[in-house]
Chain A
Amino acid sequence: MLIYLIKRLIGMIPLIIGITFISFIVIHLAPGDPTQFLSSMNPKVSETARDKFIKMYNLDKPVHVQYLLWLKKFVKFDFGESFSQDRKKVIDKVLERLPVTLWLNIASLALVFIIALPLGVLSAYMKDSVFDKALTIFVFVGFAIPTFWLALLCMYYFGVILGILPISGLTSYNFAELTFFGKIADIVKHAFLPVALSVFGSLAGLSRFSRNSMLDVLNEDYILAARARGIPENKIIFKHALKNALLPVVTILGLSIPGLIGGSVIFESIFSIPGMGQLFYQSVMMRDYPVIMGILVIGAFLTLLGNLLADIMYAAVDPRIRYRKKS
């Protein structure tokens, strides 16, 4: 297992470098550059300023040279400095915002699994019942409704009309003056809508997936045999079928991570959450290349790590899979 892990981790290195190379080229193919947003269409900005910034950012050099310069720093785990006017280190900018994004995504992911799995299992168990059909409609509504629209609707209803939930942000303005439990309540209240909507949007996929997976397992011969032996239905479902039905679902866990990080861009903008999604969006709009690259690399690393974790969990769930040399 350890050798497998090391192999996988080493295997990530060329993969990450490949991702950075493609990303770098694609980013530079987009029209516009950071200097444009500093100086364009502003009569107060001097003519020479643009040239000065171009030289300062090395934008006068060919793209491959720029990439090599970036890579030289990256191998020393230095993501460089942001092009934006605060000139902050990219790693500081990302670390400032990563915890919020991770926290919200992990909470969403955990809730999606906690809610979607039982729903899927129950749906499979009660196949074609009213519950199954109602659930199908419910989750597909969640899948079909545009998230930003639903978010605004919920913000208006729960925030403005009912006044029971905050509209945006991560904490209240008087957060520092709250008691310990007050702070926890404040965070939970602020996180409620973004997490609930993120979960609602993701339920369809996972619950349908677990339902189908469960149905496949329930049609297996060994379940038929178990039923023939007179084993109670709940025991068949929860002891024999569920474990095997979970197997493909675990794979989804790893594949969900990039999607959730991508989804953060929309959520963090609508809910004014100062996370990595918001930073990424701003950086793309400002053509802040070092920050875009930093976030992409960290995102790619997290995705690869997610896949690795999924594989490890796969082994944990399925005794047939073991990552070791065959004797």
Chain B
Amino acid sequence: MKRQICLLILLVFIAVFGCSENSDKGEAKSKTGLAAVAKTYGDALVDGSIGDASNLIPILATDSSSHSVASWIYNGLLKYDKNLKLVGDLAENYSVSEDKKVITFNLKKGIKWHDGAPFTSEDVKFTYELIVDDKTPTAYDSDFRIVDHIETPDNYTVKVFYKQAYAPALASWTTSILPSHLLKGVEVTKSPLQRKPVGTGPYKFLEWKPGNSITLVANEEYFEGRPNIERYVYRIIPDSATMFLELLNGTIDMMGLSPLQFAKQTDNPRFNAKFNKYKYLSNSYTYVGYNLKNPLFKDKRVRQALTYATPKDDIIEGVLFGLGQKATGPYKPTSPWYNPNVKKYEYNIEKAKSLLAEAGFKDTDNDGILEKDGLKLKFTIITNQGNSSRSMVAEILQNSWSKIGAKVDIRILEWATFINEYIDKRDFDAVILGWSIPLEPDLYDIWHSSKCEGKNLNFICYQNSEVDKLIEEGRVEFDFEKRKAIYNKIQEILAEEQPYTFLYVGESLIALSNRFENVEPAPAGLMHNFIKWYVKKENRKYIFTQ
């Protein structure tokens, strides 16, 4: 009996402790599981934006806010990787035919739209047809008008037939692909997708409070893996001073800073305790453009002289607090298309004066202003209101150019007046403006002679048959090295001719809350690996119950 009781006690002991050990293990396992999840998924990034989005069907929107938000919701067939190289996005890979007129995309399999429907080649064909439909109010159809037709031999193959070879065509396929099952047969301007988009991207649309915020939530089934940051919130704060205060307060996590804010106003321990600051060369440059129809600027020696008399170092130091680099052409120094071997113009007043003398300019009436054939070296620089850097540059130039005998007046104009009354009508002497530098290097719209008339963008009317020929060659050359040689040559010609005095490429200056881990700055900026960012559990700020 005693033995039986002992056995029973032993059994009970084994059962109890055996079970409890199991349950401990189970709990430990689940805890580990939770810990793993807690380490990766969670929190939100609150980003600040000056303007609200207008339309979340990207082909219908031309504002940067809409495109910023939509870029998290949609994918293109191709995308730029962190080193700014074109790689597959929805496409697994692509190939270009021998005659360069057919591009074949092989699509990734198993991708789903946010509503669960499968993504197929039909969606690509539909997006193309929608863009070139005359009833679609899109501004981005020009790259697709040269497509002859598209074939979809199966669900995962797209063949695009072009009327002529066109190298920038590849970049055009970074355009967002839209869901045909939701838009087919629907008038796109009446589609609810304009305000409640459905894409294939890393984030799904959650909520849009007009004028206030747009909230996106992580797509658990994203084909590159679920983003770790649970939500992306786009807060609309129209006043940049207010946005900066919100940043200081920690109510927004990320903001592009001005050089002044970056160099002075955030250089304190309180700010550094909460934020990391990043800088990388922005995709834009600032320049002085000379109206080449004005007889003053016909002679390239005058333009060269003005460039010699431009203190680019002082401008970068004074206006940008040193946060920028000198521009020598239409590409930035970190771009693969940049040619470092072009003619440089170091600040040299004497050289400038001698060039002007060579060009026949003399101060005959001793009024301090040079003249030639009764034409005084006197002109007006115009620029747009609301950009203090440009007006400061104008003042520096006014002062510096006076040293070589040029009398410069400055006019600052409201944007619409500036474009409508002066740029579009070609009614200006010199202009300070900036261009963004697209990742696709084609220079056709800004530098080709055919874009001189009308309301086109070669408003300084630069006409050079050699440059025209090179631009045309560059547009049909798919080989990187051969294309690079073409653009190198163009940069050399532009550097010699100085139709613009290329001033500077500014830095993108970003402040980001330091609770985000895995941030990896690269030529493409900060956000290229955003889906891999995470916040440690102890640093989390937002916890979502739903």
Contacts and interface: CB of A to CB of B under 8 A. Distances in A.
Interface of A: 30-32, 36-50, 52-53, 56, 84-87, 93, 96-97, 152, 155-156, 159-160, 163, 166-170, 173-174, 177, 269-272, 274-275, 278-279, 281-282, 287
Contacts, number: 137
A104 to B, nearest CB: 14
Given A41-B457, A168-B237, A168-B239, 15 more contacts: A32-B415, A38-B62, A43-B457, A44-B140, A46-B140, A53-B139, A85-B61, A85-B66, A86-B54, A96-B210, A160-B248, A167-B242, A270-B242, A272-B236, A278-B238
Contacts of B236: 272, 274
A156 B245 contact: yes
B242 A41 contact: no
A86 B211 contact: no
Nearest to B251: A167
A31 B52 CA distance: 24
Interface residues of B, number: 54
Contact of B420 (A31, A85, A174): A31
B242 A56 contact: no
Given A170-B212, A272-B239, A274-B209, A160 B249 contact: yes
Interface string B33-59: 000000000000010000110110000
B195 interface: yes
Nearest to A169: B212
Nearest to B424: A40
Contact of B238 (A45, A160, A272): A272
Q: Which 3 A-B pairs have the closest CB atoms?
A: A32-B416, A274-B211, A46-B142
A97 B419 contact: no
B340 interface: no
A4 B513 CA distance: 62
Contacts of A152: 241-242, 245
A31 B384 CA distance: 14
14 contacts: A32-B417, A36-B420, A42-B62, A44-B140, A45-B139, A46-B140, A49-B141, A167-B246, A173-B46, A173-B251, A272-B212, A272-B238, A278-B211, A282-B52
Contacts of B220: none
Nearest to B434: A41
Contacts of A96: 210
Given A41-B457, A45-B62, A272 B237 contact: yes
Interface string B187-216: 001000011000000000000011111000
B455 A173 contact: no
Given A36-B419, A170-B212, A49 B242 contact: no
Contacts of B60: 85
Contact of A53 (B54, B137, B542): B137
B358 interface: no
B409 interface: no
Contacts of A163: 249
A167 B249 contact: yes
A4 to B, nearest CB: 40
Given A46-B140, A159-B249, A31 B416 contact: yes
Interface string B417-437: 101110000000000000000
Contacts of B233: 173
B545 A177 contact: yes
A113 B421 CA distance: 47
B245 A160 contact: yes
Contacts of A177: 545
A192 B50 CA distance: 23
Counting chain B CB atoms within 10 Å of each CB, which of A30, A43, A269 scores highest?
A43
Contact of B54 (A45, A84, A281): A84
Contacts of A56: 137
A50 B455 contact: yes
Counting chain B CB atoms within 10 Å of each CB, which of A41, A84, A177 scores highest?
A41
B456 interface: yes
Nearest to B52: A282
Counting chain A CB atoms within 10 Å of each CB, which of B66, B246, B438 scores highest?
B246
A97 B212 CA distance: 11
Contact of B416 (A36, A48, A278): A36
Counting chain A CB atoms within 10 Å of each CB, which of B66, B134, B211, B212 scores highest?
B211
B137 A52 contact: yes
B55 A85 contact: yes
B211 A279 contact: yes
B446 interface: yes
B445 interface: yes
Given A52-B137, A85-B60, A278-B211, A155 B242 contact: yes
A47 B142 contact: yes
Contacts of A40: 419, 455
Nearest to B415: A32
Nearest to A57: B137
Interface string B3-20: 000000000000000000
B212 A274 contact: yes
B27 interface: no
Contacts of B248: 156, 160
Contacts of B249: 159-160, 163, 167
Given A46-B139, A49-B139, A274-B212, A86 B55 contact: yes
B63 interface: yes
A44 B438 contact: yes
B261 to A, nearest CB: 14
Contacts of A174: 542
Interface string B49-91: 0011011000011110010000000000000000000000000
Interface in B326-364: none
Contacts of B417: 31-32
A295 B213 CA distance: 22
B180 interface: no
B508 interface: no
A86 to B, nearest CB: 5
B138 interface: yes
B187 to A, nearest CB: 10
Nearest to B238: A269
Contacts of B139: 38-39, 42, 44-46, 49, 53
A97 B142 CA distance: 37
A36 to B, nearest CB: 6
A85 B62 contact: yes
Nearest to B248: A160
A45 B62 CA distance: 8
Contacts of B446: 43
Interface string B359-397: 000000000000000000000000000000000000000
A49 B456 contact: no
A227 to B, nearest CB: 53
Contacts of B63: 85
Contacts of B241: 152, 270
A152 B249 CA distance: 13
